[in-house]
Chain A
Amino acid sequence: MSTRTTAPRSYDVAPAVDSPRRAAVGDFLQMTPALFVFAVTIGAAATGAPGVGPATTVGGGWLVSGGSAQVVTTSIVQDGGGLVLAVLAGALANGRMMFYGAAMEPLFRQHGRWFRLLAVHWVVDTSYVAAMARTIHDADWFRRYWLTLGALLGVMWSSGLALGVLVAPVAPDLRHMALAIVGLFAPMLATRLGERPAMVAAVTAGAVMLASVGLGASAAVGLLAAPVAGMLAGVAAEGRS
């Protein structure tokens, strides 16, 4: 078996029947309510933190494009933890982006260098899941889909952060905001549990995440260990199914 055929995802050969921009807008609209409120919450929480001004919250948030990384980095800067510690913690929180990049490489492969260098900026949890669930018809279809989805997500995320900065003085403390993240990812997960290996991968990853947090590890460590364990369990389950 060649490595190409074992690649996780490649272009489908079906004719392009749906517009890439329409597909991107549809995915974006479904994800937006939870993500936008999440961005507003992060923007509001970061406002007033020492060393992290409004411009840093909005601009830095857009540059990093990772909610959990932004939260942990802001928290460390706020506590005077220093640049190295803050960057390491943020990088750990965003470590799963390496997995996403590897999984999506077949989709970027046929594009030019500049597209690949710039377009990976929009590789985040939601865009990865949305793109992998789509039937990607050809390279041009993917380019249009990805640029539209990325631009929309970028504008929405920055707008949410900016709104959070503006309304911070009157914004309620949404301590259970994590429920919105559950509401965003749980239905995505539910649609991907059809095969036994996928179920095994999900259950294992969930258990490892639970154990990581229970053992006192940071969430960022859990977000690296859990998918690795889940993926290995999924491969092991392939042979038994």
Chain B
Amino acid sequence: MAGWQTFLVLALVTWLMRIAFVAVVPPDRLPPLALRCLQHLTPAILAALVVLGLLDAVSAPSDGAGGPVLVAVVSMSVLVTAWWSRSLVWTATLALVGVVILDVLLV
């Protein structure tokens, strides 16, 4: 029951955050600087998520063959593929294959 209550309250809080600038305080009322900032949100948040993902992957225990070196190789391969191909399908597929190699095949 505690889990349900927690998730219900969290869902409500998250919904309030999502709706805050859509229906409660429209961005039109925000300072011009805030509106200019929002134009750069996409690259900023994506970079933060990518760096966090890399840090999580590198810091995860790697006791399989190759260990941290292999994690670094897979990470670099994913980044290079993303940069050169710009393809979500190819990059995500490569990343998933890397996860399988690291956590299933080499453990």
Could you tell me the distance in whole angstroms from the C-beta of B64 to the nearest C-beta in chain A?
A: 10
Q: A210 contacts the other chain (Cβ, under 8 Å)?
A: yes
Q: Which of B22-58 touch A at CB < 8 Å?
A: 22-23, 26-28, 30, 32-57
Q: A30 contacts the other chain (Cβ, under 8 Å)?
A: yes
Q: Which A-chain residue is minimally distant from B36 (CB atoms)? A: A235
Task: Tell me if B42 and A105 are in contact (CB < 8 A).
Answer: no
Task: Tell me if A102 and B30 are in contact (CB < 8 A).
Answer: yes
> How many of B's residues come within 8 Å of A, CB to CB?
79
Task: Tell me if A83 and B6 are in contact (CB < 8 A).
Answer: yes
A74 to B4, CA, bound (A): 10
Contact of A87 among B9, B26, B54, B90 (CB under 8 A): B9
In the complex, per-residue mask of A114-157: 1 if CB is within 8 Å of any chain B CB, else 0: 00110011010100110010000000000000000000000000
Task: Tell me if A175 and B103 are in contact (CB < 8 A).
Answer: yes
Chain A residues whose CB sits within 8 angstroms of the CB of B78 once the complex forms: 179, 182-183, 186
Q: A205 contacts the other chain (Cβ, under 8 Å)?
A: yes
Contact of B92 among A74, A87, A183 (CB under 8 A): A183
Task: Tell me if A60 and B4 are in contact (CB < 8 A).
Answer: yes
> How many of A's residues come within 8 Å of B, CB to CB?
106
Task: Tell me if A123 and B18 are in contact (CB < 8 A).
Answer: yes
Q: Which of A167-210 touch B at CB < 8 Å?
A: 172-193, 197-199, 201-206, 208-210
Q: Which A-chain residue is minimally distant from B4 (CB atoms)? A: A56
Task: Tell me if A94 and B28 are in contact (CB < 8 A).
Answer: no
Task: Tell me if B88 and A184 are in contact (CB < 8 A).
Answer: yes
Q: A166 contacts the other chain (Cβ, under 8 Å)?
A: no
Q: A240 contacts the other chain (Cβ, under 8 Å)?
A: no
Chain B residues whose CB sits within 8 angstroms of the CB of A179 once the complex forms: 53, 57, 71, 74-75, 78, 95, 98-99, 102
A83 to B3, CA, bound (A): 8
In the complex, per-residue mask of A56-100: 1 if CB is within 8 Å of any chain B CB, else 0: 100111011110010001100100000100110011001111111
Q: Which B-chain residue is minimally distant from A31 (CB atoms)? A: B88
Task: Tell me if B52 and A189 are in contact (CB < 8 A).
Answer: no
In the complex, per-residue mask of B80-102: 1 if CB is within 8 Å of any chain A CB, else 0: 01110111111111111011001
- Max count, chain A CB within 10 A of own CB: residue among B2, B36, B41, B96: B41
Can you list the 10 inter-chain pairs with the closest CB atoms, starting with the nearest?
Answer: A183-B95, A230-B44, A60-B7, A234-B40, A178-B56, A186-B82, A102-B21, A63-B11, A226-B48, A231-B37
15 pairs, CB–CB < 8 Å, chain A vs chain B: A3-B28, A51-B3, A69-B10, A73-B7, A83-B5, A91-B10, A97-B18, A101-B21, A129-B46, A178-B57, A179-B53, A183-B82, A185-B46, A198-B43, A238-B36
